[in-house]
Structure 1
């Protein structure tokens, strides 16, 4: 596990807390904040034995979180545990999970440091023009196929499914179901509720209409597979030659329809999935295609879902300035396009 860039110093109180957090793993000799993420607070921690680990903790101000973001660090720990004996998933090793919230305010993951550079910062050109980027995209497809070979028993967010049967838990822990329509319906309703809470118009009548219309299409998904859900270029680590080293931040992972990973890898896109990504999926033994009408409709439902998240999250995260205006405008246009496309089908 790693992140985009090493930033300045850490205050003494945080150093003391990090020292206690990593004590079961090793002796802290230094720590540096990692920048580049949009959700959690992350530190690179150097140990006396010369190794580096990553400490990640999530925000604790739940009033600033969307419903699905509650307890996300627990999801990350659960996925790393799943990946522990699956090196083909290319994820950091979980070294410690601390849910006591005694040393740091939130849940804490301590994981191995992932070498390489985020694809976002690699300097690679466009996929159609740079063979290094083309290699990365193809290998990402292979990795997705390996993820989708891991199956679960219920649908929904990973930490939700891990809750005991019948557990009420926090609101974010109830986004699951025995069927995919049930789980996806709960996920969509949670975002609609967040839209009301933050004053964001998500066209709820249209959202519910297309969801009701396409229940049968969703019901064709009967096997919950492991979906990372957030394989954008900032979470994909590469070498200078374009080899995929690994992926980080599976905190938004689900047991779901594998088509959702195509959306997570291209969150603001309007195009169909890249041919090299699909070729990698075929090579990995889990081909995906949108040639079938049902598959295309599901793909667009997940585009709708992602754009709903993007459109709301700008408010609790306080995005401002020109960047914030672009984020709101673009996510709103994307949601409108997805809904209009679904209403025509």
Structure 2
């Protein structure tokens, strides 16, 4: 018999939970806001990979970038600090660039992460590699090939073969958020209050810029503040291709045109 969420959360937190309300969440977890007896609140996430998420949030916080504090972790239940939100990302582009500078300053020994992750049923292989184009080809492109229509798979395979000539061999292995879009960036009073729902690994910091510009529209001053290396614009479609393939597998053919357009944009 499964105990109710409020009962499990109360035991983990050591306080009474007066109620819980569902929140919009990702493909990994069920998400609820908990109302606590002291008048405060917390966020509860349930899913098979919450322990991995907790470690990623701790890594973000250790970099000096803001992230929700882990209040408790019990099996498939993660309890997090509720961070202030409600502000518009458009008021905080400069602070986001500063936040990412702190995050990306943390470098790993290689490219990847200590464990694999997933977006719902789509696996995210993170096995470490020393060569960045090889990592992107194997862990972010070729991993999708068995799940794609054959003509598209052949085009992805052909691009993967070309990556040593398109991507830098050894960019600094920066700590990446890994799923950076506006919905995973909390803003309050013109400042970034937290980066949430990460899919961290170490890689080229241009990846976070590419993912952010997939669904959001950062202004030129944001990219100027990031001070990306020459040629970054040409690499953005290559890095955007991975989240688009994930969305294609999760949500279907509505993303096929975007995948095709992105492939055409790669020189």
Match of 1:192 among 145, 155, 160: 145
1:246–1:268 distance in 2 versus 1, CA, 3 Å: closer
Query: 2:36: which partner in 1?
Result: 47
Match of 2:58 among 68, 73, 81: 81
1:298–1:108 distance in 2 versus 1, CA, 3 Å: farther
Query: 1:312: which partner in 2?
Result: 249
State the 1:180 CA deviation.
1.8
Worse-superposed segment, 259-268 or 27-36: 27-36
Aligned pair count reads: 260
Query: 1:276: which partner in 2?
Result: 221
* Structure 1 residues 253-289: Cα deviation after superposition (integer angstroms, max 9, x where no partner): 22111011012212247x8x631322442xxxxx214
Are the aligned partners of 1:78 and 1:158 in contact in 2 as well (CA < 8 Å)? no
Distance between the aligned counterparts of 2:182 and 2:168, measured in 1? 31
Instruction: Answer yes or no: is 1:249 the counterpart of 2:237.
Output: no
Q: Which runs of 5+ in 2 are unaligned?
A: 118-122
State the 1:52 CA deviation.
1.7
1:249–1:313 distance in 2 versus 1, CA, 3 Å: same
* Structure 1 residues 188-214: Cα deviation after superposition (integer angstroms, max 9, x where no partner): 122223x24xxx567111111112112
1:268–1:311 distance in 2 versus 1, CA, 3 Å: farther
Instruction: Answer yes or no: is 1:258 the counterpart of 2:205.
Output: yes
Match of 2:81 among 101, 108, 112: 112
Q: Which runs of 5+ in 1 are unaligned?
A: 1-12, 61-70, 101-106, 125-132, 162-170, 282-286, 316-327
Are the aligned partners of 2:179 and 2:197 in contact in 1 as well (CA < 8 Å)? yes
State the 1:94 CA deviation.
1.4
State the 1:183 CA deviation.
2.3
1:21–1:177 distance in 2 versus 1, CA, 3 Å: farther
In the TM superposition, 1:223-234 aligns within 5 A as 223-234=172-183
Query: 2:120: which partner in 1?
Result: none
Distance between the aligned counterparts of 1:189 and 1:216, measured in 2? 17
TM-score by length of 2: 0.83
Are the aligned partners of 2:184 and 2:195 in contact in 1 as well (CA < 8 Å)? yes
Distance between the aligned counterparts of 1:21 and 1:29, measured in 2? 7
State the 1:41 CA deviation.
0.5
State the 1:149 CA deviation.
0.7
TM-score by length of 1: 0.66
Distance between the aligned counterparts of 1:186 and 1:97, measured in 2? 32
Worse-superposed segment, 227-236 or 31-40: 31-40
In the TM superposition, 1:57-68 aligns within 5 A as 57-58=46-47
1:221–1:22 distance in 2 versus 1, CA, 3 Å: farther
1:268–1:114 distance in 2 versus 1, CA, 3 Å: closer
Distance between the aligned counterparts of 2:131 and 2:16, measured in 1? 45
* Structure 1 residues 28-58: Cα deviation after superposition (integer angstroms, max 9, x where no partner): 3223233222312111123333332211122
Considering only aligned residues, what root-mean-square deviation do their CA atoms show, in Å?
2.8
Instruction: Answer yes or no: is 1:288 the counterpart of 2:257.
Output: no
Distance between the aligned counterparts of 2:187 and 2:56, measured in 1? 21
In the TM superposition, 1:106-185 aligns within 5 A as 107-117=76-86, 122=87, 133-157=89-113, 159-160=115-116, 172=124, 175-185=127-137
Query: 2:265: which partner in 1?
Result: 341
Are the aligned partners of 1:27 and 1:47 in contact in 2 as well (CA < 8 Å)? yes
